[in-house]
């Protein structure tokens, strides 16, 4: 199975300021998302890769993308086997299971599977 980019996120220290910036810059709008303070990104174009903006959970903010996989836990284990480290273990919220890993250079990438 080929794995494609299925989602992106901007995690910011100040998510409201990030939304204001990207809204003014690109004309994006931001319907409510699955967690408090998190919004989806509506670019006004279809089709497109879904995205979201939310508060960084810790430290500096970051931008990441998510690759669709058949098994999130297995993908995270494989990333570890190949020299990466798990940043966020397999986590389930309504409609999706996702996790984050850092590659050997520290770039954070997500993996996800829709229910």
pLDDT of residue 59: 72
Instruction: Verify cis geometry, omega within 30 degrees of 0, for the bond prior to 28.
Output: no
Q: Please, what is the average pLDDT of the chain?
A: 89
- Residue 1: pLDDT band (50, 70, 90) is low
pLDDT of residue 45: 83
Instruction: Report CA-CA distances (Å) from 42 to 28, 45, 50, 110, 112.
Output: 6, 8, 8, 20, 20
> Do 40 and 33 form a contact (C-beta atoms < 8 A)?
yes
Measured distance between the N- and C-terminal CA atoms of the chain, rounded to whole angstroms: 18
- Residue 112: pLDDT band (50, 70, 90) is very high
Distance from C-alpha of 85 to C-alpha of 32, rounded to nearest angstrom: 31
Q: Which domains does the chain have, with CATH numbers?
A: 5-114 (3.10.180.10)
Per-residue pLDDT reduced to its tens digit, 10-20 = 988 889 999 99
Strands 96-102 vs 85-93: parallel, antiparallel or unpaired: antiparallel
Per-residue pLDDT reduced to its tens digit, 20-56 = 989 998 889 999 987 888 999 998 888 888 899 998 8
| E strand or H helix that includes residue 18 | helix 15-26
pTM of the predicted model as reported, rounded to 2 decimal places = 0.79
């Amino acid at each position: 199975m080929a794995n494609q980019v299925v989602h992106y996120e901007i995690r910011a220290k100040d998510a409201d300021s990030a939304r204001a910036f990207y809204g003014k810059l690109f004309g994006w709008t931001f319907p409510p998302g699955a967690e408090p303070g998190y919004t989806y990104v509506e670019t006004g174009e279809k089709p497109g890769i879904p995205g979201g903006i939310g508060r960084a959970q810790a430290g500096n903010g970051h931008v990441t993308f998510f690759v669709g996989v058949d098994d999130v836990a297995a993908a995270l284990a494989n990333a570890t086997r190949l020299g990466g480290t798990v940043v966020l273990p397999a986590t389930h919220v309504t409609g999706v299971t996702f996790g984050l890993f850092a590659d050997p250079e520290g770039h954070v990438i997500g993996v996800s599977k829709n229910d």
